[in-house]
Structure 1
Amino acid sequence: MDIKHHQNGARGQRRKQPHTTVQRLLSWGLPVSCSRFLWRQPGEFPVTAFLLGAGAGGLLAIGLFQLLVNPMNIYEEQKIMFLYSLVGLGAMGWGTSPHIRCASLLLVPKMLGKEGRLFVLGYALAAIYVGPVANLRHNLNDVIASLGCTVELQINNTRAAWRISTAPLRAVFKDLLSSKELLRAETRKHLLCSCALHQEEKQAGVLGLNTSWERVSTEVRDYVHHQEARLEWALGLLHVLLSCTFLLVLHASFSYMDSYNHDIRFDNIYISTYFCQIDDRRKKLGKRTLLPLRKAEEKTVIFPCKPTIQASEMSNVVRELLETLPILLLLVVLCGLDWALYSIFDTIRHHSFLQYSFRSSHKLEVKVGGDSMLARLLRKTIGALNTSSETVMESNNMPCLPQPVGLDARAYWRAALPIGLLVCLCLLQAFGYRLRRVIAAFYFPKREKKRILFLYNDLLKKRAAFTKLRRAAILRRARQQKAPVSPGVSATASSWLGLSTAVYLLVVLGRHAAAVPGLHAPRRSSLPPPLVTATTTLPTRG
């Protein structure tokens, strides 16, 4: 019983020694029962693990359904089928497999990476389409309608003026037509010639040249509506593709998890807490250590707890920022074009007001004397022109002026917000990459331990090789600095020269030996250093 109690105490003491920062924080902030559940051995608490995992997986599946499937334009029966399928798969996967749980949580850092930026890029394009592009389309349609209205207004005014000006003449002809029987009776015995009527028909020299302005305006409006319909269809297709983009994010999560478990060099550049513990243990034993790292070594590794973007992460961040420049320039160009066109159309609206005023008045009186047939005929025809009229017609082009709409500050912010989120994701990409390693290490602690041991041994080998190369370079440089003694130099001068050279070599080698541990070791020290091993076992998240 004492031996068993001692073993349980030793096991609890070993469990209380966290090897990661996450384990230290969870052990400090959670109760003992929760810590035991999180860091349980394989096979412990199977029912509780299944129920909690199934509940969490079902809730996550419902959230994904509301985010991706529900906005799609499909039938309700299909949406319900998708909902049941996602909830069932999520509950079963989270309840039974740690790989499913790990891949699901890896969606969070993956959304901060290039897959998430692709997802946000679609929303940025949609915001640009709804904001500046839609306003440009509205203003252009309004201008096209204004041009058509102006042409129709001019045609109507010309037609009305022509009707008013020719109203007396039309009245004369109406009177003549009404008295045609009387005129025919008067001229039947005097005019015995036959008359031929020739009708003139105007035709265009080019087919389609005599198209009316109404038809042109209608065709332009129909073309614009057709282009709008095509853009709406493209926007719907883009929304469907965005929903399918989530499958790429999920595939990237599983791909990272598989590479983490099968390739020990994959993403193995982090100086974690366990790395520091190994270095402290070797320092207490008097063995060669790595910390603090040299400047050349710091450029190849990442310290996860540092709140800044480090040298090895800066190149990726700069590249991703450069990739966001085209969409940013597109937003700036479209917003500038929208503002410029709005300013032009608004200026046209304020300075293109026209008022049409048509005034017509006439008074005609013709007197025909005599009793002959010609006098009577002229009296009946020309006498009808004895009319007087006065007409006033006024109109303006106010209904035909364009009514441009300008975007307010809120609309510009809505269009620029996804672009700003895209830039923030580029800056947060480095921290997302650190987070995905933390999640994978939480679910696969044994694999993380092997990876850290491999990284420590690899850095030890590289430093030993670097020390050997630097020692050879220093010795080669010292040999090159030995100048040959000329015949005119005395023995005393040559001895002083040799003494100074020897002192210089001793100083150089002494400084390098002080900077590089183990430089004055025997020849066998050039062999690879002893590798770090560990016998501690950590549980796998079940």
Structure 2
Amino acid sequence: GAFSTSFRCSVLLMLPSILGSRGRTYLMVFILSVLYTGPLSNIEHNIRGVALSLSCNLDLQIQNSRLLWRDAIKPLSTIMEQLVIRDEVASRYGYERLSGNSTQERFTSRTMMQCDSELLLLLLLVHCVVDGGIKRCSDWFITKWEECMKTIAVPVINHIFCVPMTFYFLCDVMRVMTPWCREQIPVEGNFGQLYDQLDGAVDMLSGEFSSQLLEQQQRSVLGGAVLDQEFSVSVSRSFQKLSSVMAQILDLLQLLLSFTFISIFSRAVSYDREYRKDIRFDNVYVTTHFRQIDARRKREGKRCVLPLRRPEKKKLIDPRRLRIHLDEFREVVSSTLCVSLSVIYIYIYIDTHIYMCVCVKQTHTHTQPKTITAFNSSSHLKVHTDNRACVTRPSSLSLDVYVTCGCCVLLVALFTLLQVYTNRLRRVIAMFYHPLREKKRIIYLYNLQLQKRIYCIDKKCITKHERSKRTVREHKKLASSVKRTKH
């Protein structure tokens, strides 16, 4: 029942289990949950910010590249549209293509006519201005002639010195600009040939033609996502999947923590059951009752076990001594090794988690060279972009997380050392609730050690007696051989 001796003993045996191996297991699982909610979650958050920042910059870069591409092909698109419109008009109304002069000649003559017409229009517009300037220039020369004649009063000399004031023809110098316009036409020499080649290519496209298709398989970008989609959406989906996996693992750890108490109680019940059923279970302690039996036999003059011999000390444990026994030391070493392996596993898992996050980042960064090298051309277009919205602020761990992890690791190491003494405490608790069973166990252990001691002594006596008989036999053989040699 709930108030039976075995149940009360099992409940009290939970204390050594909590301070021993089961408590250490609970702490290890708790450390894993703290790592998941603290450092691992922070690592995932920071790397998510880096990946989202990178994807945002890639989105801006692709958008700018599209703008550059549209501006680069805009003149060509305009020319192609004009050619298509001209072909449609010619096919509908029966207009034939102009023949005779080449495109270069037509363009040159058109430019000359345009220059003459523009100059004529300019001359007509500023005719009054130019005539007014020429008239003012002539009036200036006349005024200076009169002033010069008044200044120099000598009749002949004044005509000689004032001759430069009669150069009225200098005012008509602007009328020589028309021949310069005809000679200096601002047209490149190969423009017409390029235009003819482009026109011929358009004519070939309007007719029948054959082509060869080459199929090439290439690794898909972003796992099947096209460039029209946003990088940020794809990266967010990848991290959402990773976050869902982390949440499932955290729920599993919480479930393991809830089952830890059940494992502690089952361990205590199992110890109590084995203690009552198996007389050899955990029966290696030299207790007070063991010493009392040996002292009584010593007073009666019978064979005793104490003090223990060196081989016996390796098998029996004195619970009153703080020194750790060899078997207990092996258990502590195995526990310490378990702790070390657990810490190594934690670091490996953290490294693996970081590697997974960086792989997600690397998956969305291998498209950058493909996007940039496709537009390896010079351009005078100025594009101003601002990527400050793509910058994310990194988050740091609080001091409480570091303190919690450090305290948990120290408690694990402390519980590893306390496990030796808590194992001794389990026998004391079981002895308190089952005193009669403990007496039987001690008597069994004492008789077992006494039988081993007697067997060891008898074996030594038999070995010594056989050795003496063998020596006598050898001496007799030696004496008989000596007598034969004398005869």
Same fold (TM over 0.5): yes
Question: In the TM superposition, what whole-angstrom CA distance separates every residue of 1:266-304 from its partner, at most 9, and x where no partner exists?
Answer: 211111122222223333333332222111111111111
The aligned counterpart of 1:48 is none
Aligned residue identity for 2:280: R
- Partner secondary structure for residue 271 of structure 1: coil
Matched residues in 2 for 1:142 and 1:342: separation? Answer: 11
Please report how far the alpha carbon of residue 161 of structure 1 lies from its aligned counterpart in structure 2 after TM superposition: 4.2
Instruction: Check the 8 A contact 1:132/1:334 in 2, yes or no.
Output: no
Greater shift in the superposed pair: 432-441 or 473-482: 473-482
Matched residues in 2 for 1:99 and 1:157: separation? Answer: 79
TM-score after normalising by structure 2:
0.58
TM-score after normalising by structure 1:
0.53
Match status 1:122 vs 2:29? yes
Matched residues in 2 for 1:214 and 1:104: separation? Answer: 66
Aligned residue identity for 1:212: V
**How many residues are paired up?**
351
Matched residues in 2 for 1:203 and 1:197: separation? Answer: 23
The aligned counterpart of 1:329 is 344
Please report how far the alpha carbon of residue 468 of structure 1 lies from its aligned counterpart in structure 2 after TM superposition: 1.2
The aligned counterpart of 1:225 is 240
Question: In the TM superposition, what whole-angstrom CA distance separates every residue of 1:294-343 from its partner, at most 9, and x where no partner exists?
Answer: 11111111111222221232232233333334312112335567899999
Instruction: Check the 8 A contact 2:19/2:418 in 1, yes or no.
Output: yes
The aligned counterpart of 2:175 is none
1:467 to 442, 457, 470: 457
Match status 1:103 vs 2:43? no
Aligned residue identity for 1:458: L
- Partner secondary structure for residue 293 of structure 1: coil
Match status 1:258 vs 2:248? no
Please report how far the alpha carbon of residue 151 of structure 1 lies from its aligned counterpart in structure 2 after TM superposition: 1.2
Matched residues in 1 for 2:382 and 2:353: separation? Answer: 42
The aligned counterpart of 1:299 is 314
The aligned counterpart of 2:62 is 155
Aligned residue identity for 2:272: M
Against the structure 1 CA distance between its residues 339 and 136, is the aligned structure 2 distance closer, same or farther, given a 3 Å change threshold?
A: same
Which runs of structure 2 are paired with 1:230-245 in the superposition (5 Å)? 230-245=245-260
Against the structure 1 CA distance between its residues 125 and 204, is the aligned structure 2 distance closer, same or farther, given a 3 Å change threshold?
A: farther
The aligned counterpart of 2:329 is 314
Match status 1:280 vs 2:270? no
Against the structure 1 CA distance between its residues 300 and 160, is the aligned structure 2 distance closer, same or farther, given a 3 Å change threshold?
A: same
The aligned counterpart of 2:229 is 215
Identity over the aligned pairs, expressed in percent?
Answer: 31
Instruction: Check the 8 A contact 1:342/1:404 in 2, yes or no.
Output: no
Stretches of structure 2 that go unaligned for 5 or more consecutive residues are: 99-202, 208-212, 362-377
Against the structure 1 CA distance between its residues 192 and 155, is the aligned structure 2 distance closer, same or farther, given a 3 Å change threshold?
A: same
Question: In the TM superposition, what whole-angstrom CA distance separates every residue of 1:224-260 from its partner, at most 9, and x where no partner exists?
Answer: 2123212212321331233123223222212211222
Matched residues in 2 for 1:280 and 1:216: separation? Answer: 89
Against the structure 1 CA distance between its residues 192 and 331, is the aligned structure 2 distance closer, same or farther, given a 3 Å change threshold?
A: same
Please report how far the alpha carbon of residue 465 of structure 1 lies from its aligned counterpart in structure 2 after TM superposition: 1.3
- Partner secondary structure for residue 229 of structure 2: helix
Please report how far the alpha carbon of residue 436 of structure 1 lies from its aligned counterpart in structure 2 after TM superposition: 0.8
- Partner secondary structure for residue 384 of structure 2: strand
Matched residues in 2 for 1:276 and 1:316: separation? Answer: 27
The aligned counterpart of 1:443 is 433
Aligned residue identity for 1:101: R
The aligned counterpart of 2:49 is 142
Question: In the TM superposition, what whole-angstrom CA distance separates every residue of 1:396-418 from its partner, at most 9, and x where no partner exists?
Answer: 65554676556577645544544
Matched residues in 2 for 1:216 and 1:161: separation? Answer: 19
Match status 1:432 vs 2:422? yes
Matched residues in 1 for 2:292 and 2:254: separation? Answer: 49
Against the structure 1 CA distance between its residues 173 and 488, is the aligned structure 2 distance closer, same or farther, given a 3 Å change threshold?
A: closer
Aligned residue identity for 2:435: P
Against the structure 1 CA distance between its residues 212 and 292, is the aligned structure 2 distance closer, same or farther, given a 3 Å change threshold?
A: same
Matched residues in 2 for 1:170 and 1:263: separation? Answer: 96
Matched residues in 2 for 1:135 and 1:254: separation? Answer: 41
Against the structure 1 CA distance between its residues 323 and 360, is the aligned structure 2 distance closer, same or farther, given a 3 Å change threshold?
A: closer
Matched residues in 2 for 1:419 and 1:213: separation? Answer: 48
Against the structure 1 CA distance between its residues 142 and 204, is the aligned structure 2 distance closer, same or farther, given a 3 Å change threshold?
A: farther
The aligned counterpart of 1:384 is none
Which runs of structure 2 are paired with 1:295-444 in the superposition (5 Å)? 295-334=310-349, 392-395=382-385, 397=387, 399-400=389-390, 411-412=401-402, 414-415=404-405, 417-444=407-434
Q: Which has the higher helix share?
A: 2
| Cα RMSD (Å) | 4.8
Greater shift in the superposed pair: 301-310 or 471-480: 471-480
Aligned residue identity for 1:107: M
Greater shift in the superposed pair: 416-425 or 437-446: 416-425
Question: In the TM superposition, what whole-angstrom CA distance separates every residue of 1:340-382 from its partner, at most 9, and x where no partner exists?
Answer: 9999x9xxxxxxxxxxxxx987xxxxxxxxxxxxxxxxxxxxx
Stretches of structure 1 that go unaligned for 5 or more consecutive residues are: 1-91, 346-358, 362-390, 492-542
Against the structure 1 CA distance between its residues 478 and 135, is the aligned structure 2 distance closer, same or farther, given a 3 Å change threshold?
A: farther
Q: Which has the higher contact order (CA 8 A, sep 6+)?
A: 2
- State the structure with more CA Rg: 2
Matched residues in 2 for 1:313 and 1:360: separation? Answer: 79
Matched residues in 2 for 1:209 and 1:393: separation? Answer: 29
